[in-house]
Amino acid sequence: MSLALRLPTAGEILEMATDFGLHLTEADALSFRGLMAGSMASYARLDELPEPKLPVRYPRTPGQAPKLGENPYNAWYWRCEIEGAAKGVLAGKRVAVKDNICVAGVPMMNGSRVLEGYVPDVDATVVTRVLDAAGIVAGKAASEDLCFSAGSHTCASGPIRNPHDPTRSAGGSSGGSAALVAAGVVPMALGGDQGGSIRTPSGWCGVYGLKPTWGLVPVTGSMPISYSVDHCGPICDSVENVARLLTAIAGPDEHDPRTLNARVGNYLGALKRPVKGLKIAVLREGFGHQTGNPQTAETDALVRRAMATFKKLGGRVADVSAPMHLDGPHIWTGIILEGAAEMMIKGHAMGNNWMGYYTTTLQEAFARGFASRPDDVSETVKLVLLLGEHMHRRYHNRYHAKAQNLRVLLRRAYDEILREHDVIVMPTLPFPATPLPAADCSREEYVDLALNMQQNTCPFDVSGHPAFTIPCGTIDGLPVGMMLVGRHFDEETLIAAGRAFEQAGTAKRASSRR
């Protein structure tokens, strides 16, 4: 038997039995201990077998922490310069990688003290694809603590600031990615999205962010939150760059079962598609959210005025209704709270029982870090763990299961609209970027500012539809995003519509109270 493995003692078996409500004698425990020896031999053999590793194809140095003065928005976690192939769709493009995505040899913190000091030994599939497409990995973009915040104030290395107003949130959890693009530091970045974490920072920073269809882009080699809502996608300074980055990273991956039915489109070709005759559905329930923020009405009006541009381009615009959209956040909550508690926290950053690639060094690093520093995680992560565990213990997974079942009805509600229309439109977020909270703010304010803006974004993580936020104007100098939602694996139509709107120049002209 491997020196790293040992059988449980009889006392440990009795302790576990008590936890599960079993009534064993010491003789029973010794009997079970003997029976376990056979299975432990299999574990010992697993120790001896070589483990397959994701490829690391391109040389690199570890890079360095950002120097004083070169990180004004706190958007970088780590700087590096990894060059890929000589030719490809991303030739010469510098790409920031969200810090929940593994880059071999480069430190990864995922915004959390519990991972501080971890250095991956693999490249995530999307990183390899960026390098294969001749992109340059320019560094790791700072993210929220374990990615569980849509604000930008939970990052352990300090709040990420909005380039349009550094006193404001950049949005999260991919806030570093969006801030670096908005500041013109890089033209492209990779983000992740489980409740809006690509679209929220993109909307608030005034850049282009696409949450692809669930299963189009692999998340192999990334730290997940919850299997059924994990997405990875592009955040860029133009629709063309979104199309380029998506072209590089989309497609099936044998290590990620989510992607096995992925249908890849001609995203660069979509840039030239006319939008005359495009059927645009303006979702009533995507407007008029009761947020208490006075800028919600202005945001709604600004997005509705943007419809005039689509009409001028030959689009056919109509109001539609999907009452179930208002229940989308409730269904999302039922899925992600227990899902994150089980997979991300109790599952040591990987979970189990899914047929994909497990980054075992990440599992080990997270398990050790969380065991030694649980008090150092953000208040949002603590909330997820405590409430998720309560629902699991007290209600035996019932509400998570029911929410997963309701996912089908939510998806169907959007699909019914998309049978008659090409795109669904609404505000990405109900108001522009909010002020960053004070360091000594209450826990209640801290959590509210991390989660109070996802009314329109999180339902599409549940339904899996592609959703694309594009800038459509400003309010008091703060960007407002308009979200385009399409059919599954029809990112081409979203790119075509976004490109036409971008070229019309509306995003630069529209404003409210400059």
**Residue 98 annotated as catalytic:** yes
Cβ contact 2:41 at 8 Å: no
- Helix residue spans in 250-327 (DSSP H): 267-270, 295-312
Catalytic residue among 157, 173, 177, 512: 173
Read out DSSP for 19-63? HTT----HHHHHHHHHHHHHHHHHHHHHHHSPPP-----S-----
Q: Within its chain, how far is the Cα of 97 from the centroid?
A: 12
Query: C-alpha angle with apex 123: 121 to 129, nearest 5 degrees?
Result: 170
Cα 84–Cα 171–Cα 79 angle in degrees, nearest 5:
30
Q: Which residues contact 49 (CB under 8 A, 6 or more apart)?
A: none
Residue 494 parent element (H or E): helix 491-504
Q: Which helix (H) or strand (E) holds 69?
A: none
Q: What single-letter DSSP state applies at residue 343?
A: I
SS3 226: coil
CA-wise closest residue to 454 among 284, 301, 286: 286
Is 174 an active-site residue? Answer: no
- What gap in Å lies between CA 440 and CA 449, rounded to an integer? 14
**Cβ distance 191 to 157 under 8 Å?**
no
Catalytic residue among 152, 174, 197, 222: 197
Question: Within the chain, what is the greatest distance between any pair of CA atoms?
Answer: 82
Identify the active-site residue in 93, 98, 140, 211.
Answer: 98
Question: Is 31 part of the annotated catalytic residue set?
Answer: no
Rg of the chain in Å (alpha carbons): 23
CA 113 – CA 105 distance, rounded (Å): 19
Q: How many CA atoms lie within 13 A of 164 on its CB side?
A: 27
Catalytic residue list: 98, 173, 197
